[in-house]
Amino acid sequence: MRAYWERDEDISDREVLASIASSAGFDGARLLEVADANPARDELAALTAGAVARGVFGAPTFFVGDEMFWGKDRLDFVERWLKRPE
């Protein structure tokens, strides 16, 4: 996330993705290979459908229970929601 949100790296570039994964201690080339395989694509499709069903309309979106927060700039709202008295 830092590569995209903080360093403005082009995460649509496969070489950039592999480099990010490798710098985090993963085998970047293997990770991309697995991500391109049908099981990963099928899981992504299912997760996307579930997100749409919950009303997600953009990224990043965060849920605390059923409460939805959209946008990086809303993380302080998430924190306040988590700290609220029950």
pLDDT reported for residue 86:
77
Q: Residue 63: phi, psi to the nearest 5?
A: -120, 140
25-46 confidence digits (pLDDT tens):
999 999 999 999 999 999 999 9
Please give the mean pLDDT across all residues of the chain: 94
pLDDT category, 48, cuts 50, 70, 90?
Answer: very high
Q: Residue 67: phi, psi to the nearest 5?
A: -80, 125
pLDDT reported for residue 58:
92
Q: Which two tokens stand for residue 35?
A: 């991500």
Q: What is the mean pLDDT of residues 55-81?
A: 92
pLDDT reported for residue 5:
87
Neighbours of 28 (CB within 10 A): 19
User: Is 49 within 8 Å of 59 (Cβ atoms)?
Assistant: no
Q: What is the DSSP letter of 68?
A: E
User: Is 69 within 8 Å of 78 (Cβ atoms)?
Assistant: yes
53 pLDDT higher than 90: yes
User: Is 32 within 8 Å of 41 (Cβ atoms)?
Assistant: no
Out of 15-19, 64-68, 71-75, least confident range: 71-75
